[in-house]
Amino acid sequence: MSDIQFEIDGRQVKAAKGMTVLEAAQGAGIFIPTLCHHEKLEPFGACRLCIVEVEVKGWTNLVVSCVYPAAENIIVRTRSGKVDRIRKTIIELLMAHAPESPKLKELALEYGAVKDRYEMDSSFCIHCGLCVRYCAEVAKKNAIGFVDRGINKEISFIPEIAAKECNDCKECFPLCPTSYLQAAFVLAQSLAFPESEPGEKPK
Amino acid sequence: MVQLDSPEALESFRQEILSKRDPKRPCISICAGAGCVASGATEVIEAFKAEIEKQGLAAKVDTKGTGCPGFCERGPVVVIYPEEICYLQVAPEDVPEIVSETIKENRVVERLLFEDPVTGERAVHESDISFYKAQERTVLCNNIKIDSRSIDDYLALGGYSALTKALGEMTDLEVLEEVKKSNLRGRGGAGFPAGRKWEGSRNAPEPIKYVIVNADEGDPGAFMDRALLEGNPHSILEGLILGGYAVAAQEGYFYVRQEYPLAVENINLAIKQAEAYGLLGKNILGSGFDFKVIVHQGAGAFVCGESTALMTSLEGKAGEPRPKYVRSNVKGLWNKPSVLNNVETWANVPHIINRGADWFTKVGTESSKGTKIFSLVGKITNTGLVEVPMGMTLRDIIYKIGGGIPNGKKFKAVQTGGPSGGCIPEDQLDLQVGFDELTKAGSMMGSGGMIVLDEDTCMVDVARYFIHFLTDESCGKCVPCREGLRQMDRILTNITEGKGKEGDIELLEELSETAVEASLCALGKSAPNPFLSTLRYFRDEYEAHIKEKRCPALSCKELIAYYIDPEKCMACGMCFKKCPAGAIDGEKKKIHIIDQDKCTNCGTCFEVCPTKFGAVTKISGEPVPAPVPEEKRMISKKTPSKESQKGK
């Protein structure tokens, strides 16, 4: 199985063909921070927090480890001045949405991120897409999706599906790093779920 | 309908078309491109048709709406063949005179000719016009000669001869080699060598491959691809078929933005015509090569010009880029090898096959060969599409072709490469245009946008404008682009509104680094360019905005004030009458003053104040002088305005 050998932070690591650098690192017990990654889901490459330095044939590049394929003889560095600086900026940008998220606070401590560096935004959602993708890929219900684009993008429950499926599932709830999902669910429930449907009544 | 089943059949069909055409027969070509249509070309075409009919010339003269020849500033453009007499800004009222004079009597209508703004000389022929003289038109040259809806017109000008040559005399590998040898680089943005891209697809093991035209041109102020799509769709289609042949693809796609309805219509028509002649479909020209082409309309997202987002969108999903580290020429559309090139790149291919790579590489710089079309817009005398050899200096493009900056203003910078390009200042005007040259200067070739900025343009505001555009167009998937640009847009807006703080520049630099290094796709990676390049060359303007709350270009609305110089005001009442905010106080023979509390900084007073007085001025970064005391406001002497009028 272990047909690729390469280096992460000075350690020799083995990986199967087709594995990403992040998977190989996790397998070897090397920690790389992530927000949008989940082992049951297709790599999404959106939060960019798992960015690392990769040296291939003497050329150093920054890549995101959750989608970068592990390859023979590459040299990976999970921390560097630049990597840390970028992670800090990413955390600070997300803290403009969810300054009190425990997950973000923990990361902020590690990377010295300041929570009020940028102007605050009203939505707690950090668009990691864990709920949307879990519902589509694992639960296979498609009860929640992204709507709109860019800075106006939001997660939204599809009332017709959510009213039938969500009360008995809620598997996505613990995935949300900012608790925005739960708030969105309560809102969708009170606004859009027909009362005649079985399950919980709107609070 | 003829079905052409061999290269010879196509060539003899071409001869048949040519034998029915008399090269000496007068032909009135009227640009029917979007720019000229906007300035009334449709009415001009109708007027010509009616007038020709009225004067009984229908049997002797051809009239046709053609593709865009590029001189949009002076549209509608009319060229009369065979003499190639070029009339500009033609209105329907001019038509009877043109027909009676030029068509019947062979006399030129002087007043419709181009007049050189410097020498005052008039140019009769298109090629004598200074705008065209320094250009080298390979890709655009046929636009004005053909009815974009007629495949026979394209064939008459040698169209599809590259296809007959390729299918009749060359192997698919030879076609690929020729394109590789030509060193044709992608005209869409990154400038990746097309031949190498093709080779990657060809060598990929998957048997099903695709070739795609990126016609999702979305840069503000850019319309070169539009002109080709609307004006000469067969030239792009021929390039695409040749590409399909070279990489062994059997399907091609046009990804055209929905906002180009005429382009969509003309491309669809071109495909139908090519199918009918047997130039698309099964066993093209008896060669055994099968190829079909499908048009897909994009829904108007700028990011869909990015290769992986375009392919995701083509698959019917939301147009977001893919986070993969595999090139799309190996794993692209539906995970199959897919060659994606932009419109202009494809349109170059038939010329390369026809005339050979050696001919192509004769023009250009060391690393950038051939010609490039730029859309020259902004503060420039001759707005329009220009095709120039790579390596021409920016100065020649702006002054020789573009005719310089209008209204006696000073040149400040030229923004190239689209929204994520950069600004190049005056001391670099002798830079030769080329992919690597522009990148070195902190800008890029992009798809060929060229926006000229004059001294009245605030560079911080330019950066803000483009960053705002990109913020709007971010797909929102990755954090550095979505969140980073949102914050950059805010900070830049604050600076232009006088709310800039110490440390803002450093914060913007930090956000730029994160976006450049960590964004998912090229949109985010290049998005900070407008900020970075303006900071590089115009740092003093940023500092003036932040530290002195001053806009050196006197452009940022929140940082300027309008003031009437009491020494110069002649109480003519123009500003008083026009001020939409009622902020000006004045009466006959009484010096006007602006109530700064009511003033909205709209600038109307500045515009309407007669130039001979020039009493309204803009000030920035300093307090507005106190208004003249009431008792000193009356003008006792006779107003010089009347005297000067008498003098005239």
User: In the prediction, which pLDDT does B376 show?
Assistant: 94
Which positions in chain B touch A146 (Cβ < 8 Å)? 318
Residue-level pLDDT at B637? 61
Signed CA dihedral, B325, B328, B330, B336: sign only: positive
- Partner-chain contact B323 A89, CB within 8 Å: no
% residues pLDDT > 90 (chain B): 86
> H-helix or E-strand containing B617?
strand B616-620
Contact criterion met (CB < 8 Å) for B318 and A121: no
CATH architecture, domain A4-79: Roll (3.10)
The β-bridge partners of A54 are A61, A76
pLDDT computed for residue B1 by the predictor: 64
Place of tokens 């509390």: B597
Q: Please report the DSSP string for B20-67 in residue order.
A: T--TTS-EEEEE-SHHHHHTTHHHHHHHHHHHHHHTT-TTT-EEEEE-
Q: How far apart are CA B400 and CA B166, in angstroms?
A: 38
- Indicate the pLDDT class of residue B488, thresholds 50, 70 and 90: very high
pLDDT band, very low/low/confident/very high, at B643 (cuts 50, 70, 90): very low
d(CA B527, CA B539): 18
Q: Best of A52, A53, A151, A152 to disrupt the B interface by mutation (most B CBs within 10 Å)?
A: A151
**Model pTM score:** 0.91
In CATH, the number for domain B371-457 is 3.10.20.600
**pLDDT tens for each residue of A79-123:** 999 999 999 999 999 999 999 999 999 999 999 999 999 999 888
Would you state the CATH architecture of domain B159-361? 3-Layer(aba) Sandwich (3.40)
Contacts of residue A16, Cβ cutoff 8 Å, sequence gap at least 6: A1, A2, A3, A4
User: Which DSSP symbol is given to B418?
Assistant: S
pLDDT beyond 50 at A196 = no
Residue A203 has pLDDT above 60, yes or no: no
Residues in chain A with CB shorter than 8 Å from the CB of B478 are 45-48
Are B444 and B189 a contacting pair, CB within 8 Å?
Answer: yes
What pLDDT is recorded for position B231?
A: 94
pLDDT value at residue B642: 46
Inspect the interface and report whether the beta carbons of A47 and B325 lie closer than 8 Å. Answer: no
The CA distance from A197 to the nearest CA of chain B, in Å, is 31
* Residue B591 near residue B635 (C-beta atoms within 8 A): yes
In the CATH hierarchy, which fold is given to the domain comprising B460-547? Answer: de novo design (two linked rop proteins) (1.20.1440)
pLDDT at B645 over 60: no
For the domain bounded by B17-132, which CATH number is listed? Answer: 3.40.30.10
pLDDT reported for residue B221: 81
Judge whether residue B431 has pLDDT over 50.
yes
- Give the whole-angstrom CA distance, residue B264 versus residue B217: 13
Average pLDDT over residues B257-276: 95
Of B323, B486, B510, the CB nearest to A44: B323
| B59-85: average pLDDT | 92
For residue B558, the SS3 value is helix
Which residues of chain A are within 8 Å of residue B476 when distances are taken between CB atoms?
Answer: 127, 148-153
- Between CA B556 and CA B499 the distance in angstroms is 12
Give ipTM to 2 decimals: 0.93
Q: What is the mean pLDDT of residues B295-322?
A: 92
* Residue-wise pLDDT tens digits, B560-596: 999 999 999 999 999 999 999 999 999 999 999 999 9
Mean pLDDT of B431-450: 91
Tokens of B422: 């950069």
User: What is the rounded distance in angstroms from the CA atom of residue B635 to the CA atom of residue B627?
Assistant: 15
Name the H helices within B388-518: 394-395, 435-440, 459-473, 479-496, 504-518
Long-range (24+ apart) CB contacts under 8 A made by B170-177 are: B170/B353, B172/B245, B172/B246, B172/B247, B172/B248, B172/B289, B173/B246, B175/B242, B175/B245, B175/B246, B175/B353, B176/B202, B176/B246, B176/B247
- Whether the predicted pLDDT of A195 surpasses 90: no
A83 at interface of B, judged by CB pairs closer than 8 A: no
Q: Across the strands, what pairs with A62?
A: A53
Q: Where are chain B's structural domains?
A: 17-132, 159-361, 371-457, 460-547, 559-647
Right CATH for B559-647 from 2.50.20.10, 3.40.50.300, 3.40.50.2000, 3.30.70.20 = 3.30.70.20
Closest Cβ opposite residue A48 in set B325, B474, B480: B480
The per-residue pLDDT for range B371-415, each reduced to its tens digit, is 999 999 999 999 999 999 999 999 999 999 999 999 999 999 999
pLDDT of residue A109: 97
The chain-wide mean pLDDT, for chain B, equals 93
């009676």: which residue's tokens?
B100
- 3-state SS of B226-260? HHHHHHCHHHHHHHHHHHHHHHCCCEEEEEEECCC
- What are the boundaries of each domain within chain A? 4-79, 130-192
- Whether the predicted pLDDT of B646 surpasses 50: no
